[in-house]
Amino acid sequence: MKVLDLARQLGERRLIREGGWVAAGQGIAIVARIGGLRLITDLVSPQVYGEVVLLLGLASLGSNMFCLPVLSALVRFYPDAARAGRVAALRALLRQLLVPRTLGIAALLAVGGVVWVGFGPGRASGVAFVGAAILLVLDVARLFESTLLNAARRQRAYSLWYAADAVSRPALAVAAILALGADALSVLIGYAAAVACTNLAFRRASVRGGPGEVAAPGTWLEETRRSMLRYAGPLVPLALLGWIISLSDRYILAGLTSPTQTGIYAAAYGLASTPFIMLDQLLALTLRPVYFDAVGQQDRRRERRTFLVWMAALAVSLLLGMALVVALAGPIVKLVLGEAYWSAAELVPWIAAAYAIQAVQHLFEHTILALQQTRRLLVVHAAGAVTAVSFYFVLIPRLGARGAALATLLSMLASCTASMLLSGALPRLFARDPRMRALSPP
């Protein structure tokens, strides 16, 4: 069946319209990020760009471990809260869970900056830690509000916010570089100013619950809190494992080679991965709320059709994307990156292939998440992390940045294979028993 035919059969008249808004937002974002990458790599050296990436990686480690698991639980539990008329209570509960975690991570980053000022080789690099901490707080606030918008299927507001953020970050980063100098702190100041401005501009778009919503009883709050923490608990080590797979290569590469080579690798990574991440997000943001809602209501027919739409659209898009990357890697690098980064062309196809495989992995992971089998994801990501670290230390000393790209590809392949096996998605897809609710171990 054609993808559009399947979409029409989902019984979701909003789906194609929502997908259009998400596609528009993702399209604007990818153009903005690639254009911004060109401007920034023209203005800063690979060494400075590598420093920015390493600082953002530390902030990402903290937020991924302690904030994103809670936001993942929000996506899963929002349909239940909406049906119960408890959206405002869910929002308040999420704030209680996120605020102390976010401030704690930011404080650790800021303390790291103070220590770096006293003992590190340069004051500017130390102050940049504080800039990364401020950016972290603003970014978690943005993610909280935008995740609520996506869960509520308010894709127009979500996409406009997402696109505005993607456009403003490189624009204000370039302005900060020109005004303050070509160092890491300037880039972070620009990013933080951009996030603050877009958060302020879209504050009225927040999901806050209906006007007639009554206060949630204490039993509902406690039960939901326990359920969300039980759901999110296994995602904390998952975040660490995911960070090892997708970000630890920069630190190992910096330690074994040089900051300059790390900057070139990071630029290639951003260029090659961005289109596939955007494609993955486009399909997930459009179809995940529908899919989770179908699973929550035990609507097997709608669940199956949503999964088929997702799988077909992903397969066609990834094949076309990889063909373009393999054919045009050299010209794309020269068009998008500054001249100091042109050696990144040989890395782009390998990183692109890794993220195409990861998009397939995420499809099967959503089946596991929908059925709240989050502990199985530990095995999936452990397989990828062990593979990644093993090959990083084998290949990076021999091949440098190319070894890091190859190791990333192998780690994504390992975790994707594990996700397909552990999800049981394909047997579930073709199961005849409509009462089937739990995934059976392979």
Domain positions in the chain are: 1-13+255-442, 44-233
Q: Which residues contact 390 (CB under 8 A, 6 or more apart)?
A: none
Q: What is 236-285 written as a DSSP string?
A: HHHHHHHHHHHTHHHHHHHHHS-HHHHHHHHHHHHHHHHHHHHHHHHHHH
Distances (CA, A) of 102 to 39, 145, 298, 313, 375: 31, 14, 35, 36, 24
Between residues 442 and 117, which one has the greater pLDDT? Answer: 117
* Lowest mean per-residue pLDDT among 136-145, 165-174, 275-284, 387-396: 275-284
The packing angle between helices 259-296 and 123-151, to 10°, is 20
| CB-neighbour burial class of residue 349 (10 A; exposed 0-12, middle 13-18, buried 19+) | middle
Distances (CA, A) of 24 to 164, 253, 278, 286, 383: 12, 36, 11, 12, 35
Q: Is 367 helix (H, G, I), strand (E, B) or coil?
A: helix
| Pair 292, 152: CB distance under 8 Å | no
Rounded distance, CA 345 to CA 276, Å? 17
Q: What letter would DSSP give residue 219? A: H
Rounded distance, CA 52 to CA 35, Å? 18
- Give the model's pLDDT for residue 160: 92
pTM: predicted TM-score of the whole model, two decimal places: 0.77
Rounded distance, CA 107 to CA 99, Å? 12
Rounded distance, CA 224 to CA 90, Å? 8
- For residues 10-27, one letter each, b for 16 or more C-beta atoms within 10 angstroms of the residue's C-beta and e for the rest, the string is bebeebeebbebbbbbbe
- Record the tokens describing residue 363, joined without a space: 């499809």
Compute φ and ψ for 127, nearest 5 degrees.
-65, -30
- Record the tokens describing residue 243, joined without a space: 């960070």
Rounded distance, CA 42 to CA 422, Å? 45
Please report which helix (H) or strand (E) contains residue 57, including its range: helix 46-66
Which whole number is the average pLDDT over 337-352? 92
- Give the model's pLDDT for residue 116: 66
Give me the amino acid identity at 209.
Answer: G
Task: For residue range 106-120, list pLDDT tens digits in order.
Answer: 998 888 777 766 655
Q: Is the pLDDT assigned to residue 278 strictly greater than 50?
A: yes
Tell me the pLDDT band of 214, cut-offs 50, 70 and 90. low
Give the residue among 48, 117, 63, 428 at the shortest CA–CA distance from 235.
Answer: 63
- Record the tokens describing residue 14, joined without a space: 């909003």
Q: Is the pLDDT assigned to residue 1 strictly greater than 70?
A: no
- DSSP3 helix / strand / coil % (the chain, rounded to 5): 85, 0, 15
- The count of residues in the chain is 442
- Give the model's pLDDT for residue 437: 43
Compute φ and ψ for 85, nearest 5 degrees.
70, 40
Q: What is 311-362 written as a DSSP string?
A: HHHHHHHHHHHHHHHHHHHHHHHHHHS-GGGGGGGGTHHHHHHHHHHHHHHH
Question: How many alpha carbons lie under 13 Å from residue 99 in its C-beta half-sphere?
Answer: 6
Question: How many alpha carbons lie under 13 Å from residue 313 in its C-beta half-sphere?
Answer: 24
Tell me the pLDDT band of 46, cut-offs 50, 70 and 90. very high
Only one residue has tokens 């980064």, namely 341
Task: For residue range 58-93, list pLDDT tens digits in order.
Answer: 888 888 888 888 888 888 888 888 888 888 888 889
